[in-house]
Amino acid sequence: MHELRKDPIIGRWVIMAKDRARRPGNFIVSDKSNADISLQKECCFCEGHEKETPPEIYAIRDNHSKPNTEGWKVRVVPDKNPILDADVDLTPKGHGLYDVLEGRGAHEVIVETPSHIANMADLDIDQIALVIQTYVARINDLEKDKRLQYVLAHKNYNWSRDSQNITHSYSEIIATPVNPMRVKEELNGSKKYYDCHERCIYCDLIKQEVAAKERVVFENDHFIAIVPFASRFPFELWVLPKKHNAQFPKGINGLELELAKTLKEVLLKIKEGLGDPAYHFVVHTAPFQRQKGKSMRVNTMEEDYHWHIEIMPRLTHTAGFEKGTGFYICPIPPEEAASYLREVEI
């Protein structure tokens, strides 16, 4: 038997397996697609190979080291094949029914470590904190470009769009001139809730999850990691700050190390418990508050939205039904997934 569960924020229904769920052990990846890290001797992201990437945009460096040389801890370079580009006209065009906007934006790569380490889970906590600090620095810098509406800091581990075979831990920054639909859906849903209750729906959700315990994977004073009630993917995780803030750069201020501890914990659990699968994570933060922002309200956003990170291990594939309906099919109940991950020893 199964049940339908509705994400309380954006209203998406998920069909949730109850009794024909696969056992957690069945998700373990046996045929590892991960390239052998030891074979990759010439990695352009390793320290000493700075000349093999485009010039750096930003770096956290030792005091006396120069840009594009050794001595860095985290390094940001433009993506060699950017999805969005900085130098285009942003005038909207119409073609009859259709609207077109040039793809202005930014696409950057954050090299998370000078050493050849593949998985963020294997970085030191201090190093992960530097990566988080870098997300903030890049978002704050890109906010200055008034033509940009949104910046998505995200990560694809062991998964590449272009079949590149990079086994060095990196994140991506993509800045867009329009607000992403997924984020708008969350904003709309959280605003509706706020209008009704005058409370943030994420804050209420955290309270309920802390009380219920069954979907909590990890918790410290500042963060909670849960398998969401209506998870789209098996072992999907949300990392939520307990203190309300709509904006990631403001909300994370002073808590970089706490978030790093939380990420390290849950990413290691995914690695050890699920056979080192590919995963994605995305940082969801409120859009920039532009004076002339066409599509975004600015009134209650600070009160009703709540930044968070969504982590999606890559264990199943979607098919025509999901693509055709927007329903997702999640083959393991969140409570069972959370229980399994809680018990993974790391």
Interacting residues toward a second copy by CB under 8 A: 1-6, 8, 11-13, 15-16, 20, 81, 83-85, 88, 95-103, 150, 152, 154-156, 159-161, 172, 174, 176-178, 180-183, 185, 201, 204-205, 208, 212, 229-230, 280-282, 284, 310, 312, 316-317, 319-321, 323-327, 329
First to last CA, the chain: 33
Provide the CB-side half-sphere exposure for 278 (13 A, CA).
17
β-sheet bridge partners, residue 17: 2
Please, what is the Cα angle at 335 between 2 and 23, to 5 degrees?
70
CB 63 → a second copy: shortest distance, Å? 34
Distance of CA 89 to the CA centre of its chain: 29
CB 5 → a second copy: shortest distance, Å? 6
CB 211 → a second copy: shortest distance, Å? 9
Compare residues 46 and 263 and give the one whose CB is closer to a second copy. Answer: 263
CB 48 → a second copy: shortest distance, Å? 28
Nearest to 333, CA basis, from 10, 12, 22, 13: 22
CB 329 → a second copy: shortest distance, Å? 6
Compare residues 150 and 218 and give the one whose CB is closer to a second copy. Answer: 150
CB 221 within 8 A of CB 342: no
Compare residues 41 and 323 and give the one whose CB is closer to a second copy. Answer: 323
CB 346 → a second copy: shortest distance, Å? 23
- Kindly calculate the radius of gyration of the chain based on its CA atoms and give it in whole angstroms: 20
Compare residues 1 and 39 and give the one whose CB is closer to a second copy. Answer: 1
Rounded to whole angstroms, the Cα distance separating 93 from 230 reads: 38
Compare residues 105 and 241 and give the one whose CB is closer to a second copy. Answer: 105
CB 176 within 8 A of CB 150: yes
Q: What is the DSSP string of 118-146?
A: --GGGS-HHHHHHHHHHHHHHHHHHHTST
17, with CB counted inside 10 A (0-12, 13-18, 19+), is middle
Compare residues 21 and 257 and give the one whose CB is closer to a second copy. Answer: 21
Compare residues 73 and 284 and give the one whose CB is closer to a second copy. Answer: 284
CB 268 → a second copy: shortest distance, Å? 19
Q: What is the DSSP letter of 243?
A: S
